[in-house]
Structure formats: C-alpha cells, structure tokens
Structure 1
Amino acid sequence: MTASTPDIKNLGGRPRTGIGTPVMVRLQPDQLGALDQWIANHETAPSRPEAIRQLLEQALKP
C-alpha cells in the first residue's frame, strides 16, 4: 500500500478550520534560511507555515 492510496488519510499539518484568511508571504533566501534554522532547532520541527504562525504569535504578545 502506498501513501497515494485513497483510503489513507493525510494527517500532516494543521487541521482545516474553515476560518482565517490565507496570506501569501514571499521570503528572501536569507530569511528562509533563518526560518529553516529556527525550525531545525525545535524538536517538533513545525512546518514552515506553522513556524511562521508561532513566531508571529510570540512577536505580538503584549
């Protein structure tokens, strides 16, 4: 059985909520490298979108 088999559910990533606004962000190579390094330093290794959400949440805390 392969991952492309229709009866296998993809459980990766954040679950869909049906709410929220998609935002496309273009990163320069040095920014992307820094983001990837930040991800590599975390045991859970979040996806790039999840890492950006976590960093944004940290930056906006009062």
Structure 2
Amino acid sequence: MAPPKKDTEAINLRLSQELIKAIDDRRRAEPDLPTRPEMIRRALVQWLAMTDS
C-alpha cells in the first residue's frame, strides 16, 4: 500500500529505540515488508478501526 499522494501532511515523530525495534520486528512479519512509515500508517488505521464507536 503506497502512501496517499494528495491531501496529506508530513509529521515528525520521535520514538524510543525500543518502539522502533518493535515496529521493525512487526513489519518483518508482513509479506510485503512495508517501510517504517507505512507500518505506522497500517497500525494507526487498524487502531482507529478498533476504537471507532
């Protein structure tokens, strides 16, 4: 899944090394090895779907 090309805004985010390692470990489990930003997008979409009320 490629990031959207319009109606987007860049954000800058600092994460602990522990969290980065966890993201990297999780993305390696994906069949298409997403980039870090793409894995974070996927996690946010999934979280938002779970918390949508």
Structure 1 moving runs of 4+ over 4 Å: none
- Quick check: which has more Rg, 1 or 2? 1
Correspondent of 1:46 among 26, 34, 38:
34
Instruction: Supply the RMSD in Å over aligned alpha carbons.
Output: 1.8
Could you list the runs of 5+ residues in structure 1 that have no partner in the other structure?
Answer: 1-12
TM-score by length of 1: 0.70
Show CA shifts across 1:5-57 (max 9, x none): xxxxxxxx836623211111111000000000010111111000000000000
TM-score by length of 2: 0.81
Task: Name the structure with the higher helix share.
Answer: 2
Ranked by relative contact order (alpha carbons within 8 Å, sequence separation 6 or more), the top structure is 2
Give structure 2 stretches of 5+ with no counterpart.
none
**Structure 2 residue 7 is the aligned partner of structure 1 residue 25:** no
1:60 and 2:45 matched:
no
Matched length: 50
The answer to whether the 8 A contact 2:3-2:38 is kept is no
Give the C-alpha shift of residue 60 in structure 1.
0.5
